[in-house]
Amino acid sequence: IVMASKKERYDFTLIMIGDAGVGKTSLLIRFADDEFKESYQPTVGVDFRYRTFVVDQKKIKLQIWDTAGQERFRTLTSNYYRGADGIVLAYDITNSKTFRHVAEWMKNVDKYGRRRAIRMVLGNKCDLEHAREVPKDLAEKYAEEHGITWIETSAKNAENVDLAFRRMALKLLENKTFEQRQAERKEKAAVLNTAAKDNRSSTKCCS
């Protein structure tokens, strides 16, 4: 593994949202600690984990906020949308209601989230294929229509969990590069604009 130097580390903040019981905490702990328990206490308010890893020869540090899915915590968790570089929206493939609520969660993202925040939808509990209620093609179609990355995961057997967060990290890097280029263009344009104004002023003085 090629380790990036400390100055090349990129820090990003993710927020995990979705209905209660879809496995947000399980996904987070599987990714951050590579552990799984059959049951967790429901998240009250907000909790978080860190993980540092290397992707594309760049050191990435993800701070991932795990939010409560219960209705009474919605106002509290919406405050965290604004600071998130990426938003991971999870549903349970064995519970169609949690998938139907994805659209409602996305409305909150549109309302409170940053315009360029990267979005990803995870269909969790794919190890329970026999109990599936959300067809793959339905979820895939939704993701395509909204330009969102969609992946099915299993926190229980770790299927695609690492893949999902690494893919998110790559998209965050691409987004950061784009934003840096945009900022550089604006800075360059401002310099050129100032130079043009100075040139016009100089021409007037000499005429």
Distance, in Å, from the CA atom of 52 to the CA atom of 31, rounded to the nearest integer, reads: 11
Residue type, 35: E
By the 8 A CB rule, do 173 and 56 touch?
yes
pLDDT of residue 1: 37
pLDDT of residue 7: 57
Distance, in Å, from the CA atom of 99 to the CA atom of 102, rounded to the nearest integer, reads: 5
Tokens of 61: 């540090």
Tokens of 27: 């996904």
Lowest mean pLDDT among 7-16, 139-148, 154-163: 7-16
pLDDT of residue 183: 64
Query: Tokens 């938003």, residue?
Result: 87
Could you read off the pLDDT of 62-112 as tens digits, one per residue?
Answer: 999 988 755 555 555 677 888 899 999 999 999 999 999 999 999 989 999
Domains of the chain, first to last:
6-206 (3.40.50.300)
pLDDT of residue 73: 53
- Residue 207 pLDDT exceeds 60: no
pLDDT of residue 180: 67
C-alpha triplet 45, 50, 53: angle, nearest 5°: 150
- Residue 158 pLDDT exceeds 70: yes
- Residue 142 pLDDT exceeds 50: yes
CA 79 to chain centre: 15
